[in-house]
Structure 1
């Protein structure tokens, strides 16, 4: 049952079950085989109106983020939730605290950018926003859960500055490493690359950054990270597709106003020319594109994409074809 004025139904009945009427992002990671977590961004409740001039100006029930769970492995008919992390009223609760200070001088909100399981624990990377006008952040950091997403707390030894190359990121785990592709916060900077051993996720000094000039990994100095994708890269996610043996990245490209896809044989590049995965002429005010982990194993790419109006998240599918 949709909200008043909403054009799309909500197959997960999030309003009725968890008091979520409008949300964005949709960052999916595998917790255990067949079990997935999904982080969402700024979210609003029953009073949400999807076609207001500024959908995120809802007056109440604002949570800076929330977390859903899924055991759905057949995405042909959509993505079903198995539950949501809730408060004592049974409603979706905020996981990473946000101050909700709209002055532009304090703690406005905390927005997840990527999540992953490492060493049996779940981690979410997020940025803490000071002022949306210029995407000015206070910092980016990590939260951790040791009980499969029920309770969370900060990783105090991992923090990225407001002008870090890794203010927004994507994660993928392969061959003993967690790879991290990042941008500065916003939608106007190129992408760079880092990696670390799974056991070192909370040891930021052990992170290694790809220096494409020296053609080697540099430990502990993110300023040595060189550009791997020279584009205006917005919200991103990337995977390795084992069937095609290709790295695949998708991101919101503000300059072209589309969801762009690129491929590479090696994580360090070279990356292909941009391919228009989703056109804003067909899906107005699109942004965000987060791969479902099942996209790593076959011909179908499943990803969660946002649209500013009606300020919600949609499961999308594209098919890979051999050249």
Structure 2
């Protein structure tokens, strides 16, 4: 008999907040709060353009190019962290994943069903996201089902290893890396540690990097990666959705040498090597899941994230990764997209006016492709 699991990842107070919202599958939202912020980017419009995972709901009219339940036994899943592996080939890490017997349940949103894997990995070489992102394959087992990449023991006692959740991924020094946290207990968002796994064969096999360890109270328990000017930049927060972001950097070749990581201290106005406690806040906000990129057209850093306290997804931008960062700009709200979280930017977004990103919804526990139309504040039309 298959084991069945139901996990309520959200804290009770947050779940109550989500449960009070409208569960409608709104197709788009036009942000009203995006004018007059102190930076160069304006968000003109945001819309949901496709489903990425799972089976369409009754009455849903979105593009749905991937039959993940049938093809890979991926019924319910979330996150969808995207990075470029080889040129034009993208990896996508999903979080806790359940099989084709998964059924969205509005009375008990979130995961259910059998074949629980703590995370799975998909691949895509789709270059046109206007009709959604086609998944070309996944890392699978010998039966063709998506397999778990980063080990999690699935001990739901709250005293052991519950699950391992990806937070960021990057191609560095010719290899692929995924940053993750190992969860002890969801209530209170208590982790055991955070670390990274490595692949040297384009994502087919992975191994833990034993030299990298972030403690349960680390400011880099969750992360976002981006490469620029010879460095990998890593935005970090404490695990959860309550802390402000900080930034570290390191040379690609040093990704597995934590002693070489440098942390930005705004008070000293310099990078400090080897001591993550010296990292200072880039700005003050409650930051959850995040994504960081440098936009080639606008010549600005862009950070997207969930703000649980405001129940919305935000975008901030800056000339330099060390700041000053803009005020938050609205990408999507829980009023339009109930039980939303994410967001994760697709690397194809970096040269034009359309910012594509993945958004998760706790109900129906699926991932969706979103598109934000950007403009320069000085010439928004």
In the alignment, the residues of structure 2 paired with residue 60 and residue 245 of structure 1 have an alpha-carbon distance, to the nearest angstrom, of: 45
Long gaps (5+) in structure 1 = none
Q: In structure 1, what is the equivalent of residue 91 of structure 2?
A: 37
- Residue in structure 2 matched with residue 154 of structure 1 by the alignment: 208
Equivalent residues of 1:65, 1:96 under 8 A apart: yes
- TM-score in terms of structure 2 length: 0.83
Are residues 259 and 106 of structure 1, via their aligned partners in 2, closer, same or farther at CA, if it must alter by over 3 Å? same
Q: Is the 8 A contact 1:64 1:96 kept in 2?
A: yes
Does 2:131 align with 1:67?
no
Residue of structure 1 in register with 2:246 after alignment? 192
Deviation at 1:297, TM superposition (A): 1.2
Distance in 2 (CA, whole Å) between partners of 1:117 and 1:154 is: 16
CA-to-partner distance for each residue in 1:110-129, whole Å, 9 max, x for gaps? 00000000111000000000
Q: Name the CA distance, whole Å, in 1 between partners of 2:219 and 2:55.
A: 39
Q: Show the 5 A alignment for 1:91-110.
A: 91-110=145-164
Report SS of the residue matched to 2:135. coil
Q: 1:241 to 1:2 in 2, by over 3 A?
A: closer
Aligned to 2:348: 294
Kindly tell me: are residues 41 and 210 of structure 1, through their superposed partners in 2, closer, same or farther at Cα, counting changes over 3 Å?
same
CA distance in 1, matches of 2:366, 2:326: 30
Q: Is the 8 A contact 2:55 2:67 kept in 1?
A: no
Structure 1 167/40 Cα, relative in aligned 2: closer, same or farther at 3 Å? same
Could you say if the C-alpha distance between residues 156 and 275 of structure 1 is closer, same or farther in structure 2, counting changes exceeding 3 Å?
same
Residue 292 of structure 1 deviates from its aligned partner by: 0.4
Does residue 227 (structure 1) correspond to residue 288 (structure 2)? The answer is no
**Structure 2: gaps (5+ residues):** 1-52
Q: Which residue of structure 2 aligns with residue 250 of structure 1?
A: 304
Q: Could you give the per-residue CA deviations for residues 226-278 of structure 1, whole angstroms, max 9, x where no partner exists?
A: 00021000000010001110000000001110001101000000100011111
Equivalent residue for 1:113, pick from 167, 175, 184: 167
Is the Cα–Cα contact under 8 Å of residues 77 and 111 in structure 2 kept in the other structure? Answer: no
Residue 321 (structure 1) aligns with = 375
- Structure 1 residue 50: Cα displacement: 1.1
Aligned Cα RMSD in Å?
A: 1.4
Cα separation, 1, equivalents of 2:264 and 2:196: 21
Deviation at 1:298, TM superposition (A): 1.2
Corresponding residue of 1:285: 339
| Contact 1:96–1:143 under 8 Å retained in 2 | yes
Q: Distance in 1 between matches of 2:296 and 2:165?
A: 30
Scaled by the length of structure 1, the TM-score of the pair is 0.97
Report the 3-state secondary structure (helix = DSSP H, G, I; strand = E; otherwise coil) of the residue aligned with 2:70.
Answer: helix
Residues 246 and 282 of structure 2 are in contact (CA less than 8 Å); yes or no, is this contact kept in structure 1? yes
- CA deviation vs aligned residue, 1:152-210 (integer Å, no higher than 9, x gap): 00000001000000000000000000000010000001110100001000000100000
Please state how far the C-alpha of 1:7 moved relative to its aligned partner.
Answer: 5.5
1:261-280 equivalence runs, <5 A? 261-280=315-334
8 Å CA contact 1:113, 1:168 repeated in 2: yes
Residue 54 (structure 1) shift: 3.7
Distance 2:160 2:151 in 1: 13
Quote the offset at 1:49 in angstroms: 1.3
Richer in strand (by share) = 1
